[in-house]
Amino acid sequence: MVWLGVDLGNARVGLALSDPELTFAHPAGDIYVAGDYFYAIDDVIDVIEDEHVTHVVVGLPLQMDGTEGKSAKKARRWAANLEKRLQTLHPDASARYQVPQVLFVDERLTTVSAHRQLFEANKSSKKHRPLVDQQSAVVILQTALDRAGKQ
């Protein structure tokens, strides 16, 4: 069982994968998108299928007061499109293939946390930008894993 974390961004979509025991999240790369993260759906589906992902955790960019704005609604549309595409690709999902469950995690301040973690790992601030999206995906996924482990 492997979970996938997704940080949707306009330049890059950051990805993170869990270990099979669902204990730790680790960076799994970026998908470069041309200003629209809907372009990343096919690449995300490839990762889901290659890694046998059972849960996809998408960062939900809530506003600071906790309400959903335009960005959160767009993230929900992206996740709905991902689910629809997976169901279209696997219309007869059987015991052999289950369409992954999609979960959302509040991603407020994940970029701040990701920058802090990269700084603590002695990465220069110039090197943060290419790494921050996948590190944000790690924070999103680790949050979900920690919550799931406490249930």
The domain over range 2-149 is classified in CATH as 1.10.10.60 = no
Name the nearest CA neighbour of 4 among 105, 150, 122. Answer: 105
Going by pLDDT thresholds of 50, 70 and 90, the confidence category of residue 66 is: confident
Q: How far apart are CA 32 and CA 34, in angstroms?
A: 7
Q: Residue range 51-64: average pLDDT?
A: 92
**Residues in Cβ contact with 77 at an 8 Å cutoff, skipping those fewer than 6 apart:** none
Model confidence pLDDT, tens digit, residues 86-142: 988 877 655 556 778 999 998 876 665 655 665 666 665 555 566 778 888 999 999
Q: What is the pLDDT of residue 62?
A: 86
> Which DSSP string corresponds to 49-90?
HHHTEEEEEEEE---TTS---HHHHHHHHHHHHHHHHHHHH-
Reduced DSSP (H G I as helix, E B as strand, rest coil) percent helix, strand, coil of the chain, to 5: 45, 25, 30
Amino acid at 85: R
